[in-house]
Amino acid sequence: MTQITLLTPDDWHLHFRDGDMLQETVPATARLFQRAIVMPNLLPPVTDAKMVNAYRERILAARPQGSSFEPLMTLFLTNDTTKQDIIDAKAAGVVAAKLYPAGATTNSDAAVKALDSLFPIFEKMAEIGMLLLVHGEVTESHIDIFDREAIFIERNLTRIVDVFPSLKVVFEHITTKEAAEFVASTSDNVAATITPQHLLLNRNDLLVGGIRPHNFCLPVLKRNIHQQALRAAVATGSNKFFLGTDSAPHEKHRKESACGCAGCYSAWGALELYAQVFDDLGVIDKLEGFASTHGPDFYGLPRNTSTLTLIKETWTVPSEIILPNGKPIVPFFAGEEVNWKVKG
């Protein structure tokens, strides 16, 4: 197959950041995606309806002229989140609340430290139909970083799903065989997003031949057996798995610093990279479900009605992108050839 037409896809997990960065990130996503679930881990985090509304307006102001792109907003959960916060957020159009274990990723220090105290919040979310989005890792310093997702499933996610069977849960950016198996085996109210980097790469691509900071993300890349399990999961065509890029930009100097920053900025080529994965797996016919229908169906939103066409044609991801502040950012797969391209 050398051409495929899809219903216009959505991105069910990404980071736009804020300020001048929006002038780059919003148009890059609106290029191909009709909607996107916007992560709330700003500084300060988006923790109430007023902050949601203000952030939404900043995103809309950065849309390209004539674009109908729609940001789908989320609320950042803390141990101070109240049931009224959830009610107010739902009234403001928030579709989901995000559970970050404190310290799990960028700008998550204010997040949840005592999970059980949020059970009344989960109950209210289930009652009013707000989804729970989960960054599924434990964060204790003594636990190996490559084991943190599996332990989170055993210790926390299983309990949440069991106690709140009517709560819709998205296990975001899954990275392990254990996560793929958990999602596939549990109820229809549990689904997962999978990123392009976790389908294309494993920890060798982060560490062999020197540290490669632009492949550093959280949850971190795992060993090959986990990458293969994720590829096998999407190849099934199961509606429990759908597109969420976790596109997460950082300026080049921050990624290449002594500490580095977690995140792959994939908006410039994510859909095309997913197409490459599905083609390599011999299941390009299953791309539309993953990219365009499974996500809205799970969220209870209408499918998009417009379409776009991908053609099998080689192009090269830019080596750098210059931000509005004049500083460069390195996109995911920078300088690499991609075999699929959006027509027109």
Residue numbers belonging to the annotated binding site for Zn(2+): 13, 15, 98, 135, 173, 246
- 224 is written with which tokens? 């090959």
Other beta carbons within 10 angstroms of residue 72's beta carbon come to: 18
**Contact yes or no for 152/136 (Cβ under 8 A):** yes
Q: d(Cα 344, Cα 132) in Å, to the nearest integer?
A: 37
Question: Can you say which residues are annotated as belonging to the binding site?
Answer: 13, 15-17, 41, 98, 135, 173, 218, 246, 250, 262
What is the C-alpha to C-alpha distance for residues 12 and 35, in angstroms, rounded to an integer? 8
In sequence order, what are the residues at sequence separation of 6 or more whose Cβ sits closer than 8 angstroms to the Cβ of residue 311?
2, 3, 340, 341, 342, 343
- Measuring CA to CA, how many Å separate 279 from each of 5, 228, 230? 14, 15, 15
Instruction: State how beta strands 96-99 and 131-134 pair.
Output: parallel
**CA distances to 17, 26, 104, 324 from 22, in Å:** 7, 5, 24, 9
Which is catalytic among the residues 246, 279, 280, 297?
246
Under 8 Å between Cβ of 34 and 9: yes
Active-site residue, 147 included:
no
Q: Are 244 and 220 in contact (CB under 8 A)?
A: no
Residues with a catalytic annotation lie at: 246
